[in-house]
Amino acid sequence: MVRLYSIKDKVAVVTGGAQSLGLCIARQLAQMGAKVVIGDIRSSGADAVVEINKEFGPNTAVFQQCDVTDSSALHALIDLATIRFGQLDILVNNAGILDKPWNLDPSGETALACININFSALVDGTNYALHLWNQVEGSRGVVINIGSIAAYCPMEYLATYTATKAAVAAYTKSLSGLAPKVRVNAVAPSWIETKLLEAEHIGRNHFTIKKYGLLQPQQVVDQVVRLIEDESFAGDIIIIRNGDEPKLCKLPNATDMMAIITSEDN
């Protein structure tokens, strides 16, 4: 029988939560009874929180403007969960951007920002949360990383983005051994109906979107909730493609690999 982790009365931090997928995740968690701390570089998150509190009750959500590449600001955002609501239970690393093809990024600025936001900040936030949970005896936590199917489909026109999402997948798998105290999981969706589609080199007429279609944010949110609630998931990644049932990634996790290595050594 599957053991379920109740989201009700938990406290979640969602980065990049002011719009699109991040806001959908924050709203879903609030609807399920969680308190939510939303962080985003966009100030529009303040308006989003007003609406969440109107719909789900006062003091359900708070917003703090945050550039996740600023380590002190990111740590302060995570600390806000404890300061405002008394605990930290869930961290959703959602903040992310696309890079540009090399010929549209002559200085490499976009590529570097993509690495810093999509992966470096994700590791920084996760590492900080792990230390917080380690300081409290009996505490438990869940980390959800927003990856991409791009991790498994190298794409020249999004080379750095693809690399960061591959890194997210490897990082997620590598932390499977932290369970049951902390469960780290990820979703790896194909293109989603979000603001990222507005990038000048993508757009809705991009050949991959025409061929494979678009996921609706709720399809991804449903799998995020699944990974939080189902306590059997640890170091797991769910691949989500338009028109297909979500599939659990079959690549081995860290404990599987250690067993293989140990048996080969013997």
* Residues acting as catalytic residues: 161
Of 165, 177, 198, nearest to 93 by C-alpha is: 165
> Measured between alpha carbons, how far is 76 from 265 in angstroms, rounded to an integer?
45
Biggest CA pair distance of the chain: 61
- What DSSP line would sit under 104-169, residue for residue? G-TTSHHHHHHHIIIIIHHHHHHHHHHHHHHHSTT--EEEEEE--GGGGS--GGGHHHHHHHHHHH
Angle, helix 159-174 to helix 121-135, in steps of 10 degrees:
20
The residues, any chain, with a CB within 8 Å of residue 226's CB and separated by 6 or more, are 233, 238
Residue from 60, 126, 61 nearest 93 by CA: 126
Q: Which residues pair with 53 in a beta bridge?
A: none
